[in-house]
C-alpha cells in the first residue's frame, strides 16, 4: 500500500512538475568533438585538422570568439546535424545526424561554446 | 603511447608467427591473434570509449566486406589503408602549419607467409553476420568517367574531405579509396555508403542520405579508379 502511495505521489509530481530536459554536457561534448570533429577542425579546435590542407574550404576555427559569437546555438546545432549546406556553408561539413543523437549534438554545441568563449582546452 | 603500439605490434608479430598451427586449430588461434587489434565478434559497440581505443577496424563482418583474393594477397604484403591509423586523433600532432599525421606513431600490419594468409583469409570469409544487409542491395556495377566521378566525389559529395581517391589527393582520416574496389565487395560498398551506422554504430562515416542512383554513382567511380586493368591476352 505504501509503495502504491509513493508511486501515486511520484506520478502526480511528474505530471505537475515535468522534469526539464537534461542540460547539455560539455564534457561529453568534448569527447564527441575529439571523435568526430578534430579530424578537420583540429585537435585544439583551431580549424587546422589533419584533413584541412586538402580541403578547398577551410574548416571553421572554433576558437574564433567573434565568428562563433555571431552564430546562435540553433545555427550550430543545425550545421552539425544537417551539414554545412543546411546553413549555406560548405558541403565539406557533413551532416552528423546518422552518427550522433540530438542530445549528443547539443553536448557538442555546449563544448563549442566553452571552446570559443570560456577558455576551454 | 608509441611504446604501447610498438609492443602491441611486436606481440601481434609473435602471435601471427604461430599461425602455422595444425589446420583444425586454425580458427581459434587466428581469432585470438587478430583480436589483439581487431574486434572479432559482433555486434559493434556503441560505446565512444571503445571507438577511441580501437587499434584496427572490426573484422567480425570481414566475410561480408572483403574480397577473398585481396585479403590473401594483402596479408602477405600489407600496405597502409588508413593514412592516419584507425583513430586519427591518436596519430595526429600539432605542427607549425596545423595538425599533421605523426607517422612514427603508426605501426605496420604484420605480414604472414602464403599458407598462413590462405588460412586467415579462409577463416575471415566465414564471418558473415551482415548478409541480410547486403541482400537489400541491388547493384550492378556500371561505369562513370573518371572526370565526372571525381567531380562528384570531391565537389558534390565532399568525400575527399576524409578519403583519398588518388594516392596524392584527399583527406587522411578515412581509409584510402583508390584501392577500395580491389579490396571490398561491391554490395558492401553500396550498403556502407547507404547506412554506415548499420555496420558500425560509432563509425566516423556520415550518412549522406543519398538516393540509390547517387550511391551507385560513387561505387561506379570507385570501380573506375580502382579496377585493375585487365591483363594483356
Per CB-CB distance under 8 Å, the chain A contacts of B208 are 94-95
Low-confidence spans in chain A with pLDDT less than 70: 1-22, 119-121
Number of domains in chain A: 1
Cα separation, B49 vs B163, in Å, equals 24
Q: What was the pLDDT predicted at B14?
A: 44
Q: Does A90 touch chain B (CB under 8 A)?
A: yes
Q: What was the pLDDT predicted at B82?
A: 98
Contacts of A106 (CB under 8 A, 6+ apart): A24, A29, A77
Q: What was the pLDDT predicted at A70?
A: 95
Question: Is there a contact between B172 and A50 if contact means CB atoms under 8 Å apart?
Answer: yes
**For chain A, what is the HEC assignment?**
CHHHHHHHHHHHHHHHCCCCCCCCCHHHHHHHHHHHHHHHHCCCCCCCCCCHHHCCCCCCCCCCHHHHHCCCHHHHHHHHHHCHHHHCCCCCCCCCCCCCCHHHHHHHHHHHHHHHHCCCC
Q: What was the pLDDT predicted at A121?
A: 61
Q: What was the pLDDT predicted at A8?
A: 57
Cis amide prior to B43 (ω within 30 degrees): yes
Q: What was the pLDDT predicted at A4?
A: 57
DSSP string spanning chain B?
A: -HHHHHHHHHHHHHHHTTTTS-GGGHHHHHHHHHTTTS--SSSPP--HHHHHT--S---TTHHHHB-HHHHHHHHHS---SSTT-SSGGGGEEEETTEEEE-GGG--PPPP--HHHHHHHHHHHTT--TTHHHHHT---------HHHHHHIIIIIS-GGGT-BSSSSSB-SSSPP-TTHHHHB-HHHHHHHHH-HHHH-TT-SS------HHHHHHHHHHHHHHHSPPPPP-
Q: What was the pLDDT predicted at A50?
A: 98
Question: Is there a contact between B98 and A48 if contact means CB atoms under 8 Å apart?
Answer: yes
Residue A85: all three cell numbers together: 549546406
Q: Does B48 touch chain A (CB under 8 A)?
A: yes
* Cα pseudo-dihedral A82, B215, A58, A25, rounded to 10: 40
Per CB-CB distance under 8 Å, the chain B contacts of A98 are 195-197, 206-207, 209
Hey, which residues does B98 pair with through a beta bridge?
A: B95
Mutate which of B53, B170, B171 to disrupt the A interface (most A C-beta within 10 Å)?
B171
pLDDT digits (tens, 9 = 90+) for B116-164: 999 999 999 999 999 999 999 999 999 999 999 999 999 999 999 999 9
Residue A2 inside a domain? The answer is no
Q: Are B120 and B71 in contact (CB under 8 A)?
A: yes
Question: What is the rounded average pLDDT for all residues in chain B?
Answer: 90
Q: What was the pLDDT predicted at B120?
A: 97
Q: How far is A71 from chain B (nearest CA, A)?
A: 23
Question: Is there a contact between B196 and A98 if contact means CB atoms under 8 Å apart?
Answer: yes
Residue A39's CATH number: 1.10.760.10
Residue ranges making up the domain that contains A26: 21-116
Q: What was the pLDDT predicted at B4?
A: 42
Residue A36 inside a domain? The answer is yes
Shortest CA distance from A46: residue in chain B: B98
Mutate which of B151, B197, B206 to disrupt the A interface (most A C-beta within 10 Å)?
B206
Q: Are B134 and B214 in contact (CB under 8 A)?
A: no
Q: What was the pLDDT predicted at A7?
A: 52
- For residue B19, pLDDT over 80 is answered with no
Q: What was the pLDDT predicted at B27?
A: 84
Hey, which residues does B100 pair with through a beta bridge?
A: B93
Q: Does A103 touch chain B (CB under 8 A)?
A: no
Q: Categorize the per-residue pLDDT at B7 as very low, low, confident or very high, splitting at 50, 70 and 90.
A: very low
Q: Categorize the per-residue pLDDT at B24 as very low, low, confident or very high, splitting at 50, 70 and 90.
A: low
Residue A4 inside a domain? The answer is no
Instruction: Supply angle C-alpha A72, A78, A81, rounded to 5.
Output: 140
- For residue B228, pLDDT over 80 is answered with no
Question: Is there a contact between A91 and B156 if contact means CB atoms under 8 Å apart?
Answer: yes
- For residue B15, pLDDT over 50 is answered with no
Shortest CA distance from A83: residue in chain B: B208
Cα separation, A33 vs A40, in Å, equals 11
Cα separation, A36 vs B89, in Å, equals 9
- Interface ipTM above 0.90: no
pLDDT digits (tens, 9 = 90+) for A70-97: 999 999 999 999 999 999 999 999 999 9
Cα separation, B31 vs B42, in Å, equals 13
Amino acid at each position: 500500500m505504501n509503495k502504491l502511495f509513493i508511486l501515486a505521489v511520484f506520478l502526480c509530481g511528474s505530471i505537475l512538475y515535468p522534469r526539464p530536459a537534461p542540460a547539455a554536457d560539455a564534457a561529453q561534448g568534448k569527447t564527441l568533438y575529439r571523435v568526430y570533429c578534430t579530424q578537420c577542425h583540429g585537435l585544439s579546435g583551431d580549424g587546422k585538422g589533419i584533413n584541412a590542407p586538402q580541403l578547398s574550404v577551410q574548416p571553421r576555427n572554433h576558437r574564433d570568439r567573434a565568428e562563433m559569437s555571431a552564430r546562435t546555438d540553433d545555427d550550430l546545432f543545425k550545421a552539425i546535424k544537417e551539414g554545412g549546406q543546411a546553413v549555406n556553408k560548405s558541403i565539406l561539413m557533413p551532416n552528423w545526424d546518422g552518427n550522433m543523437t540530438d542530445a549528443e549534438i547539443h553536448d557538442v554545441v555546449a563544448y563549442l561554446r566553452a571552446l570559443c568563449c570560456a577558455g576551454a582546452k | 603511447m608509441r611504446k604501447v603500439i610498438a609492443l602491441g605490434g611486436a606481440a601481434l608479430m609473435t602471435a601471427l608467427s604461430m599461425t602455422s598451427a595444425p589446420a583444425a586449430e586454425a580458427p581459434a588461434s587466428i581469432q585470438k591473434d587478430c583480436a589483439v587489434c581487431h574486434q572479432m565478434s559482433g555486434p559493434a559497440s556503441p560505446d565512444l570509449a571503445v571507438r577511441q581505443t580501437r587499434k584496427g577496424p572490426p573484422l567480425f563482418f570481414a566475410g561480408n566486406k572483403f574480397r577473398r583474393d585481396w585479403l590473401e594477397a594483402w596479408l602477405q604484403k600489407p600496405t597502409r589503408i588508413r593514412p592516419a591509423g584507425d583513430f586519427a586523433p591518436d596519430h595526429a600532432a600539432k605542427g607549425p602549419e596545423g595538425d599533421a599525421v605523426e607517422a612514427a606513431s603508426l605501426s605496420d600490419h604484420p605480414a604472414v607467409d602464403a599458407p598462413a594468409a590462405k588460412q586467415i583469409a579462409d577463416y575471415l570469409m566465414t564471418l558473415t553476420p551482415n548478409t541480410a544487409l547486403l541482400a537489400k542491395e541491388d547493384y550492378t556495377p556500371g561505369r562513370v568517367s573518371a572526370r565526372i566521378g571525381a567531380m562528384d566525389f570531391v565537389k558534390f559529395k565532399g568525400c575527399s574531405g576524409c578519403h583519398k581517391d588518388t594516392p596524392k589527393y584527399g583527406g587522411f582520416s578515412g581509409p584510402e579509396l583508390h584501392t577500395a574496389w580491389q579490396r571490398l565487395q561491391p554490395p558492401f560498398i553500396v550498403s556502407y555508403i547507404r547506412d554506415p551506422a548499420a555496420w558500425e554504430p560509432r563509425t566516423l562515416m556520415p550518412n549522406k542520405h543519398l538516393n540509390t542512383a547517387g550511391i551507385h554513382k560513387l561505387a561506379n567511380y570507385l570501380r573506375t579508379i580502382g579496377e585493375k586493368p585487365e591483363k594483356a591476352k
